[in-house]
Amino acid sequence: MIRRIGLLLFLAVLVISCSQKKEDIVISPEDFHESVDRVTQVMIHDIFSPPVASRIFVYPNIAAYEILASQDNKYLSLANQVRELSPIPKPVDTTSLNYELAALVAHIDLNKRLIFSEERIETYRDSLYALWETKNRDQYEVSKKYGLEVAEHIAEWMNGDNYAQTRTMPKFTVDTDNPSRWQPTPPAYMAGIEPHWSKIRPFVIDSASQFKPTPPPPFSMDKDSDFYKEVQEVYDISNDITAKGDASEEVQIAQFWDCNPYVSVTRGHLMFATKKITPGAHWIGITKIASRKSNADLHKTVYAYTKASIAMADAFISCWDEKYRSNLIRPETLINEHIDENWEPILQTPPFPEYTSGHSVVSGAAAVALTDVFGDNFAFHDDTEVPYGLPVRSFPSFKAAADEAAISRMYGGIHYRAAVEIGVNQGRNLGKFVIDNLQMTQ
């Protein structure tokens, strides 16, 4: 009797389990935003430089995009458009393949490969894997396998971009004999970062020097020279806006677009770093805002992230090429030496040469890419800096945001006028080249 009851219970459980329909795994735009946010937080923790951060964003986005584009006729593969990228492998088993799931798997896997604190991504990944396996094991396993296969393909391509080689190249040598050349600045007096970034393989532009800007005004500390007038202008603007107090519009603009991951704080005999997002991460945040506001589906969301991150990656290569070519001294050094030894800029001067302004170039390029995706005059409220204690700022367009980002560097006391005005145009010209030569949609 007991054996019969046990058999009946077993059969009942078996019938119920077999009758339960497996739940499809649905990947939403918010799932992708979360993956991007996770790696951004790890980059802040690990303190990656702005150029390196742009590399961390772009490869995982391309991997996800390529998977989605492979089964969506609206989007075109980047293979044979982006330099040296070959087509991703085709899936062997498509019976249970969830392309959206595979795209997110690939994105997470490449994120993990590109940062230092891998365990932070692994914890997030493993929690998702457990959830997906519970919902639909067959779909999860097939999709995970394909996502990791594509991630490996992208990683092999990524590893040929000269990044590893630049890790072993000589450090930047400061030229103390030439008064126009960049010098390390207080408080940390760090060495110039990424002096060989121009050797990184570009994505769409022909070469690092393709968008070489006009040179800055000739160096001269003659008070009648154009260059000296630019130095004096930085000093005068800084004094004017600091006299208005921290609540002044210009100070708020400077702080909002600071995006310096290298800010050092000195307390007595201790020096430590405050951690912030990079300029590229700020524009990645704007991409998320625009995607949400426009109710973009997953495919358009990944498309937007990918186009923006490619434009920014090439913008950093272009800008850093010019920075270490012109190797121009920062305002802080000259103002302290020639005008006011006690002057300090509103923002801490980042550790690399002045010309052109990196935030200006990258903002110009990102704004062009996002305008191409979401349209002209796309108004938005930028809350990217709220987690860092800064208020929301509103913009009528991506172009307006880029213009403000550029002028913020003068308000902050870390760039001359030529660097921001020529820099944002350098970025816009590069961004236009990217969107004109990268065919991503039908």
Q: Give residue-wise pLDDT tens across range 96-114.
A: 999 999 999 999 999 999 9
pLDDT digits (tens, 9 = 90+) for 301-318: 999 999 999 999 999 999
4, pLDDT greater than 70: no
Alpha-helical (H) ranges within 159-214 are 163-166
Cβ burial 348-382 (10 Å sphere, 16+ → b, else e): bbbbbbbbbbbbbbbbbbbbbbbbbbbeeebebeb
DSSP 8-state class, residue 92: S
Phi, psi of 386, rounded to the nearest 5 degrees: -55, -40
Please compute the mean of the pLDDT values over residues 246-251 and round it to a whole number: 92
Indicate where the chain has its CATH 1.10.606.20 domain(s). Answer: 181-437
Percent of the chain topping pLDDT 70 = 93
| Concatenated DSSP letters of 26-86 | ---HHHHHHHHHHHHHHHHHHT--HHHHHHHHHHHHHHHHHHHHTT-TTB---TTTSTTPP
Respond yes or no on whether the N-terminal peptide bond of residue 331 is cis (omega within 30° of 0).
no
Whether the predicted pLDDT of 9 surpasses 50: no
Mean per-residue pLDDT for 330-359? Answer: 98
CATH code of the domain made up of 181-437:
1.10.606.20
Q: What percent of the chain has pLDDT over 90?
A: 90
State yes or no: pLDDT of 259 exceeds 50: yes
User: Average pLDDT for residues 163-179, to the nearest whole number?
Assistant: 96
Instruction: Check residue 270 and give its pLDDT.
Output: 53
